[in-house]
Chain A
Amino acid sequence: EAGVTQFPSHSVIEKGQTVTLRCDPISGHDNLYWYRRVMGKEIKFLLHFVKESKQDESGMPNNRFLAERTGGTYSTLKVQPAELEDSGVYFCASSPIGTGLFGNTIYFGEGSWLTVV
């Protein structure tokens, strides 16, 4: 079974440009999450989809970030316009279990490394 896949694995863009990150969750997983790790800091929650609906987007840093999950399958995270402080690793994760279940384990992808110069 394929794991969570993310694309691109690495991206270098200039400040002010737009980048779109894609995540394909494990097949059948209704829950999809985006997390981010800025250099040397902790991994922080960005948002959570249940199927195509945004369940929790409390971690989104500002309105330059837009996440979508059309049809409840893959998800995209767009940063527009990118700023220097957006550099970091963006992790996508998915889970087969519905919300409210204690002890839920989530499965992470390899991450998309974004460098804004």
Chain B
Amino acid sequence: GNSVTQMEGPVTLSEEAFLTINCTYTATGYLSLFWYVQYPGEGLQLLLKATKADDKGSNKGFEATYRKETTSFHLEKGSVQVSDSAVYFCALSDRTGNQFYFGTGTSLTVIP
């Protein structure tokens, strides 16, 4: 079955550090890949997505590229801010687009 594996947290970084959160998936067929973010006290928000191989999703300085050859969708940001502190979830959906498979989430804390 479909599954998503993302790096364990928590992750603590200093402001302006480089961020990578690894995400790999197991699935076949046409997929869409997503990163969702949950800020403290809020719901899950879509951060970015990619709907085909080699697509790069980007938003708020975050980027992730859908790599079919390595079945990965790693999240990166060149310079994190305190306001980026949140839990990040990698997810995929199959061709129907109606059932999402999530990773366990990675908690990020950015310290000044």
Q: A42-B4, A108-B36, A108-B44 are in contact. Are A56 and B99 (CB under 8 A)?
A: yes
Q: In the complex, are the beta carbons of A102 and B32 less than 8 A apart?
A: yes
Contact status of A45 and B32, CB under 8 A, knowing A108-B45, A109-B43:
no
CB distance from A75 to the nearest CB of B (A): 15
Residues from 87 to 106 in A contacting B, C-beta threshold 8 Å: 91, 93, 95, 97, 99-106
The answer, yes or no, to whether A69 is at the interface (CB within 8 Å) is no
Find out whether the CB atom of B96 lies under 8 angstroms from the CB atom of A43: no
Find the B residue at minimum CB distance from A99: B98
Query: A42 near B98 (CB under 8 angstroms)?
Result: no
Q: Which of B32, B45, B89, B95 lies in contact with A43, CB distance below 8 A?
A: B89
Does B104 count as interface, using CB distance less than 8 angstroms?
yes
Q: Say yes or no: is A16 at the interface (Cβ < 8 Å to chain B).
A: no
Query: Chain A, interface size: which category?
Result: 20 to 34
Are the CB atoms of A110 and B42 closer together than 8 Å?
A: yes
Q: Which of A91, A93, A100 contacts B96 (CB 8 A)?
A: A100
Interface residues of B in 92-112 (CB under 8 A from A): 93, 95-105
Measured in the bound complex, the distance between the Cα atoms of B89 and A35 in whole Å is 14
Closest Cβ of chain A to B106, distance in Å, is 11
Please determine whether A102 and B95 come into contact, CB atoms closer than 8 angstroms: yes
Give bound CA distance, A97 to B41, whole Å.
27
9 additional A-B residue pairs with CB within 8 Å, beyond A35-B102, A45-B100:
A33-B98, A43-B44, A91-B43, A97-B97, A101-B97, A102-B30, A105-B46, A108-B36, A108-B44
A-side residues, CB < 8 A to B, are 3-4, 31, 33, 35, 37, 40-45, 48, 55-56, 59, 91, 93, 95, 97, 99-111
